[in-house]
Structure 1
Amino acid sequence: MIQLAQILFILSVLVILHEFGHYIAAKAFKVRIEKFYLFIDAGFSIVKKKIGETEWGIGWLPLGGYVKLSGMIDESMDTAQMNGEAQPWEFRSKPAWQRLIIMLGGIIVNIILAWAIYTTMFATVGQKYIATDEIQKNGLAFGAVGEKVGFKNGDKIVSVDGEPLQQKFNWLIIDMLLGNTITIDRQGKQLNIELSDEQKGLILGTEGKDFVKPRLGNPIVNEVDTKMSAYKAGLKKGDVITKIDTKNIAFFDEFGDYLKNKKNDSVTLFVNRNGEDISIKTKVSSSGKIGFTPKIKDKLDFEIIKHHTLSTAIPAAVKESWQLFVYNIKQFKLILKPKTGAYKQIKSPVGIARQLPETWDWEFVWNFTALFSIGLAFMNLLPIPGLDGGHALFTIAEMVTGKKLSDKAMGYVQTAGMIILLTLMAFTFGKDIYQWVMDVITKK
Structure 2
Amino acid sequence: MSPFAVKAIQLLLSLSLLIVLHEFGHFIPAKLFKTRVEKFYLFFDVKFSLFKKKIGDTVYGIGWLPLGGYIKISGMIDESMDKEQMAQPPQPWEFRSKPAWQRLIIMLGGVTVNIIVGFVIYMGILYVYGRDITTTEDLPQGFAVTEQFKEYGFQDGDLILKINGEPLDDMWQINRNIFLRDVSNVEVKHADGSVATIQVPEDAGSKMFENGIMIPFEPIQKIKLDSIFPEGSAHKAGLLASDKIIAINGQKVEYRHQFEKAFDKEKIAEKKIVILRGNTQDTLKIMPNEEGDIGIMYASQGIGQTKIDYNLGESITGGFSYGYYTLRDYVAQFKYVFTKKGATQVGGFGAIGNMFPGVWNWQSFWATTALISIILAFMNILPIPALDGGHVAFLLYEIVSGRKPGDKFMEYAQMVGFFILIALVLFANGNDIYRWLFE
CA distance in 2 between partners of 1:64 and 1:259 (Å): 44
- Is 1:40 matched with 2:41? no
Deviation for aligned residue 1:15: 0.1
Q: How does 1:405-444 map to 2 (within 5 A)?
A: 405-436=405-436, 438=437
Equivalent residue number for residue 200 of structure 1: 209
Equivalent residue number for residue 307 of structure 2: 305
Q: Cα–Cα, structure 1 residues 322 and 198, in superposed 2: closer, same or farther, change >3 Å?
A: closer
Deviation for aligned residue 1:375: 1.0
Deviation for aligned residue 1:101: 0.7
Deviation for aligned residue 1:25: 0.7
- Is 1:23 matched with 2:27? yes
Between 1:302-311 and 1:415-424, the stretch displaced more is 302-311
CA distance in 2 between partners of 1:21 and 1:265 (Å): 58
Amino acid at match of 1:88: P
Contact 2:144 2:218 in 1 (8 A): yes
Indicate the SS of the match to 2:67. strand
Indicate the SS of the match to 1:363. helix
Equivalent residue number for residue 215 of structure 1: 220
Deviation for aligned residue 1:356: 2.3
- Is 1:380 matched with 2:383? no
Q: Cα–Cα, structure 1 residues 161 and 76, in superposed 2: closer, same or farther, change >3 Å?
A: farther
Contact 2:136 2:159 in 1 (8 A): no
- Is 1:345 matched with 2:373? no
Equivalent residue number for residue 316 of structure 1: 318
Deviation for aligned residue 1:305: 2.6
- Is 1:138 matched with 2:147? no
Contact 2:139 2:219 in 1 (8 A): yes
Contact 2:143 2:219 in 1 (8 A): yes
CA distance in 2 between partners of 1:161 and 1:3 (Å): 36
Equivalent residue number for residue 332 of structure 2: 330
Contact 2:114 2:373 in 1 (8 A): yes
Deviation for aligned residue 1:33: 0.3
Deviation for aligned residue 1:432: 1.4
Amino acid at match of 2:31: K
CA distance in 2 between partners of 1:261 and 1:313 (Å): 46
Contact 2:139 2:304 in 1 (8 A): no
Q: Which structure 2 residue ranges, 5 or more long, are not aligned? A: 229-233
Q: How does 1:79-158 map to 2 (within 5 A)?
A: 79-128=83-132, 130-131=133-134, 133=136, 138-141=141-144, 146-147=146-147, 154=156, 156=158
- Is 1:237 matched with 2:239? no
Contact 1:160 1:181 in 2 (8 A): no
Contact 2:149 2:216 in 1 (8 A): no
Q: Which structure 1 residue ranges, 5 or more long, are not aligned? A: none
Amino acid at match of 1:237: S
Contact 1:149 1:199 in 2 (8 A): no
Contact 1:179 1:195 in 2 (8 A): no
Deviation for aligned residue 1:42: 2.1
CA distance in 2 between partners of 1:95 and 1:113 (Å): 28
CA distance in 1 between partners of 2:273 and 2:100 (Å): 77
Between 1:260-269 and 1:13-22, the stretch displaced more is 260-269
Q: Cα–Cα, structure 1 residues 156 and 342, in superposed 2: closer, same or farther, change >3 Å?
A: farther
Between 1:160-169 and 1:351-360, the stretch displaced more is 160-169
CA distance in 2 between partners of 1:200 and 1:35 (Å): 44
CA distance in 2 between partners of 1:353 and 1:9 (Å): 11
Equivalent residue number for residue 389 of structure 1: 389
Deviation for aligned residue 1:220: 3.7
CA distance in 1 between partners of 2:41 and 2:274 (Å): 68
Deviation for aligned residue 1:252: 3.6
Equivalent residue number for residue 179 of structure 2: 177
Between 1:194-203 and 1:17-26, the stretch displaced more is 194-203
Contact 2:27 2:71 in 1 (8 A): yes
**Deviation sequence 1:56-112 (CA, Å, 0-9, x none):** 111122211111100001122222211121111000111111111101111111122
Q: Cα–Cα, structure 1 residues 245 and 417, in superposed 2: closer, same or farther, change >3 Å?
A: closer
Contact 1:158 1:164 in 2 (8 A): no
CA distance in 1 between partners of 2:250 and 2:345 (Å): 45
**Deviation sequence 1:258-291 (CA, Å, 0-9, x none):** 799999898977x797xxxx6736366677x9x9
Amino acid at match of 1:80: E
Indicate the SS of the match to 2:40. strand
Q: Cα–Cα, structure 1 residues 132 and 104, in superposed 2: closer, same or farther, change >3 Å?
A: farther
Amino acid at match of 2:358: E
Q: Would you say how many aligned residue pairs link Structure 1 and Structure 2?
A: 415
Taking structure 1 as the reference length, what is the TM-score of the superposition?
0.79
Contact 2:144 2:219 in 1 (8 A): yes
CA distance in 2 between partners of 1:264 and 1:23 (Å): 62
CA distance in 1 between partners of 2:372 and 2:358 (Å): 19
Between 1:247-256 and 1:395-404, the stretch displaced more is 247-256
Indicate the SS of the match to 1:74. coil
Q: Cα–Cα, structure 1 residues 87 and 170, in superposed 2: closer, same or farther, change >3 Å?
A: farther
CA distance in 1 between partners of 2:312 and 2:242 (Å): 47
Contact 1:160 1:175 in 2 (8 A): no
Deviation for aligned residue 1:319: 0.8
Contact 1:37 1:67 in 2 (8 A): yes
Deviation for aligned residue 1:377: 1.0
Indicate the SS of the match to 1:325. helix
Indicate the SS of the match to 2:392. helix
Deviation for aligned residue 1:147: 3.7
- Is 1:77 matched with 2:81? yes
Taking structure 2 as the reference length, what is the TM-score of the superposition?
0.80
Equivalent residue number for residue 11 of structure 1: 15
Match of 1:61 among 56, 61, 65: 65
